[in-house]
Chain A
Amino acid sequence: MRAAVIQFPGSNCDRDMAVAFDRVSGNNTPTQMVWHKDDHLPDGLDVIGIPGGFSFGDYLRCGAIAARSPIVQSVVEFAKRGGYVIGVCNGFQVLTESGLLPGVLMRNAGIKFVCKDLDLIVKTTDSAFTNRYSVDQKITVPVAHHDGNYTADATTLKQLHSEDRIAFAYAKNPNGSMDDIAGILSENRRVLGMMPHPERLNDPELGGTDGAGLFESITEALISA
């Protein structure tokens, strides 16, 4: 598996995501780190990770400035060609701001930054990111965000439900997110955005491995493709 992680000024989960990709991709193809000012993506990529953090200081709106950087335009083209893209936390915000995923992540309903381990419910296994889980499986994954309150218009929400595009929901809603949404898929099911951090619970020494299934799912999808 050939993976890349995009780095912006203010990204802070980029190394964690690279380690998570490396654990499943083998030693021969280390994850490539791509700086936001690079003008093109490495050749032959299977998957791109957009990491958590506070790109460009969260100025204007979370993810807004990163979403307009030239490298993200290349990521959009990659996704439109059918490439796999996962955006976590700030990465999810970048994906909604770029238009790859619908809706917007607003300020948490309780105003406060939320940082804790939470139970997520796997809502679909029909994606390259969730095929190793089972429907309604509960997994524990940490969240750490100030703007995770997923908001979309009624038509979009209805569409997400009817097209089975809600990947993860919170067992107990931490941020006011509509319909307890924690993560959603694009129309072609190849782009996933989620607020919780699967890359942070990916090794027993970090306290758990519930996030590992997500990265193993990607390799599974690539093998069977």
Chain B
Amino acid sequence: MKAKVHITLKAGVLDPQGAAVRRSLGSLGFDGVEKVRQGKVIELDLVETDRATAEATVKSMCEKLLANTVIENYSVEIL
């Protein structure tokens, strides 16, 4: 079973990397980009075969390591 974790910055947290990407896009002529927020995608291959158990386990991984919940949100997708 595969899982995909999306990690994004919480609303209101400044994202200097996203801002730099936005400026760079502007310098390439891509006007009209109002905002860029950069995040992470983490893919996991799991031995677990039960969807619900897998989802609960990956959420626990997010809480304990994969995301810093002070500044980041996460969502888990079981594929």
Contact = CB atoms under 8 A, between A and B. Distances in A.
B43 to A, nearest CB: 14
B70 to A, nearest CB: 5
A74 B65 CA distance: 18
A149 interface: yes
B16 A111 contact: yes
B65 A68 contact: yes
Interface string A43-87: 000000000000000001100110010000000000000000000
A60 B40 CA distance: 9
A10 interface: no
A104 B70 contact: yes
Contact of A149 (B16, B64, B66): B16
Interface string B14-37: 101100100000000000000000
Contacts of B64: 68
Contacts of B66: 60
Given A64-B65, A68-B65, A151 B71 contact: yes
B68 interface: yes
A151 B16 CA distance: 12
Contacts, number: 36
Interface residues of B, number: 11
A152 B65 CA distance: 19
A135 interface: no
B33 to A, nearest CB: 17
Contacts of A14: none
A61 B42 CA distance: 13
B65 A109 contact: no
A26 interface: no
B38 to A, nearest CB: 10
A109 B17 CA distance: 8
Contact of A109 (B13, B16, B68, B71): B16
Contacts of B13: 106, 151
Given A104-B68, A106-B71, A151-B14, 8 more contacts: A65-B65, A68-B64, A110-B16, A111-B16, A151-B71, A152-B70, A153-B70, A176-B16
Interface of A: 60-61, 64-65, 68, 97, 102-104, 106-111, 149, 151-153, 176
7 interchain residue pairs of minimum CB distance: A104-B70, A111-B20, A109-B16, A107-B16, A104-B71, A111-B16, A107-B17
